[in-house]
A and B are shown apart, each in its own frame.
Chain A
Amino acid sequence: MKRAFPILGIVTAILLSYALCMALMPVTHIWIFTVGAPTEQTMGNVQRIFYYHVPSAWTAFILFFVNFAASVVYLIRRRPAADIVALVSAEVGVVFCTVVLITGPIWARPVWGIWWTWDVRLTSTLVLWLIYVSYLFLRRFSSSGQTPTLAAALAVLGALCVPFVYLSIRFFRTQHPQPVIGGGGSIDPRMLHVLLINWLAFSCFAYLVCWSRYRLEKLQRDVDEAHALESLLDPRGSVR
């Protein structure tokens, strides 16, 4: 297990570099590989934000789903490991959702002429982000013994927002484009290749970060337990 971490780290770094090269090669004119993502005809190079924006959104959705599954397991079985997985996936999911909410307006400004509009997709994504930020606030600032249970309940309700965000562009008329995969839209196979490579790279990166964060959280809980034990024992080692 200890050896797998650096190996996965190296694989992730290679994947991220490869994905970045594939997305940006035609812009920088530094051709490391012969194939790169072609330039979109209407939007030009700014469309390449797509290769970071969309994989970040998919990764955030997967992490929120993991948070939901772990929260359900915690509510049923009360396993501390499930609670840690729920916390970690929500935290990393919020980071990826933040990337979506930052790169989206940067893409919208040159294409739509505005940074933000209160349309269903954008607003529901912001609400989703706020739900998980409040989940993290609850975990951070509540000192009650019931905090993991309350947080798990909030996570289960918050997860209902994820399919709404995903499907909102199908059910409502929005300014946001329709999905390129499974939504009736078409995409150049070279663009799809770069998109999937970026998604794979971001998924590996998210897994690596979650793994580090899980180990850190577990260690933190062990240390807290040791502190509690220490405060119960007197210097001679007997219970007060």
Chain B
Amino acid sequence: MSGNGYLFAAYAATWIIHIAYLGTIVRRYSRLKREIEQLKKSGTRS
């Protein structure tokens, strides 16, 4: 791999790590949203 190859690999790795983490936050948020909707439904039923 050339110097530029290592450079782009490092930059790409940085953003892959950050985007993967942001992905876990989005996934957790959508799961929580579903939970809140279920709670609201069970609240209106009772």
Contact = CB atoms under 8 A, between A and B. Distances in A.
A complexed with B: yes
Contacts of B9: 106
A216 B29 contact: yes
Interface of chain B, main secondary structure: helix
Interface residues of A, number: 37
B14 A223 contact: no
Nearest to A215: B29
A209 B21 contact: yes
Contacts of A205: 18
Interface stretch (A62-70, A174-182, A230-238): A230-238
Given A99-B18, A237-B46, A216 B10 contact: no
Contact of A27 (B4, B29, B39, B45): B4
A48 B28 CA distance: 34
Interface residues of B, number: 25
A8 interface: no
Given A213-B25, A230-B42, A95 B7 contact: no
A212 B28 CA distance: 11
A99 B40 CA distance: 40
A17 interface: no
Contact of A103 (B14, B18, B35, B46): B14
Contact of B3 (A110, A223, A236): A110
Interface string A43-86: 11110110011001000000000000000000000000000000
Nearest to A237: B46
A167 interface: no
B13 A216 contact: no
Interface in B21-44: 21-22, 25, 28-29, 32, 35-36, 39, 42-43
A216 B17 contact: no
A52 B14 contact: yes
B15 to A, nearest CB: 9
A220 interface: yes
Interface of B: 1, 3-4, 6-7, 9-11, 13-14, 17-18, 21-22, 25, 28-29, 32, 35-36, 39, 42-43, 45-46
8 contacts: A43-B3, A45-B7, A49-B7, A53-B10, A99-B17, A209-B25, A216-B29, A223-B32
